[in-house]
Amino acid sequence: MSTQSLIGFLANSLKYGHDLAKTRVYTMTQKTPLYEGKAKVIFEGPEVGTLIQHFKDDATAFNAQKKEVISSKGILNNYISEHIMMAVGELGIPNHFISRISDREQLIRKLEIIPVEVVVRNVAAGSICPRLGLEEGSMLNNTLVEFCLKDDSLGDPIIAPEHIFTFGWATPEELEIIVEDTLRINDFLTGLFLGIGVRLIDFKLEFGRYDTEDGVEIMLADEISPDNCRLWDAETNEKMDKDRFRRDLGGLVEAYQEIARRLGVKVPEID
Ligand code: TMP
Ligand code: ASP
């Protein structure tokens, strides 16, 4: 099977709901990882310009000082992120997602990742509270976009746009596209989650450059899941995201399952 028809086969199989975890595609990913992050592993894809993104069960916090394996977390994030990335794509915001190919894997476009984490905050929570003396849960006057350098060895320090330009991590034109996409994603996701009784408190995005015949296109990368969003139940303010792990609250899998259920995402049965 040529790689082109393999991709067609994958797309059709997904459409018709075949169990791809049992196909040869799965064995193809048993290669040396190109890159291993804290929650995901990246493998070479079946075709030039593609990669396979594998979701692990590893949970880390505070720059990996706290670590645990939470069985099935990776499966839930894979399905939830697929759902959100597809919805974001339908909005017209280009992103790296091509298709989900198994319970833990997605076929994605290969991007040159921009080493800047874009954090969007609607409500004060997490690291901004001790940093600026804010109370958790206080509303911000407007949506706040912050940037952090994606560098674990430095603890992902917060940076200003001027740092991004000075060190050449992105150009002003690229950052303009990134911020515009980020704010549209925030508006869209805020509404999507409110519709299922969930408050979108904050989240983190990553972007990259994709080489096309017409030039370089900025695309959304990584994942959008309860691992990189803060999600609170709209009625009770109960945490339904990775803070359940960060703060030893327990019930992380049940919270992620509830997010999937409310979004209408069908996930495999988890014991
Ligand atoms: P923070 O309050 O810890 O700075 O996190 C802000 C948001 O970004 C929160 O939704 C969690 C997410 N996030 C990540 O996805 N990865 C990270 O490494 C960090 C620090 C935060
Ligand atoms: N994932 C990050 C880490 O392990 C931080 C976090 O999500 O809180 O460091």
Atom of ligand 1 nearest to the CA of 128: 2
Q: What is the pLDDT of residue 188?
A: 98
Q: What is the pLDDT of residue 30?
A: 60
Q: Which long-range contacts (CB under 8 A, 24 or more apart) does 65-74 make?
A: 66/245, 66/246, 68/245, 70/245, 70/252, 70/253, 71/253, 71/270, 72/253, 72/270, 73/227, 73/252, 73/253, 73/256, 74/39, 74/40, 74/104
Kindly provide the residue ranges of all beta strands, DSSP E only, lying in 91-249, ordered along the sequence.
97-100, 105-109, 112-113, 116-123, 139-149, 158-159, 198-205, 207-212, 215-220, 229-233
Rounded Cα–Cα distance for residues 54 and 100 (Å): 10
Q: What is the pLDDT of residue 117?
A: 98
Q: Which residues of the chain have pLDDT under 50?
A: 1-29
- What is the pTM for the complete model shown? 0.90
Q: Verify whether ligand 1 is closer than 6 Å to residue 222 (CB atom).
A: no
Instruction: Give, for ligand 1, the residue of 119, 132, 185, 227 to mutate: max count of ligand atoms closer than 8 Å to Cβ.
Output: 119
Atom of ligand 2 nearest to the CA of 204: 7
Q: What is the pLDDT of residue 270?
A: 86
Residue 84 CA to ligand 2 centre (angstroms): 21
DSSP 241: S
DSSP 220: E
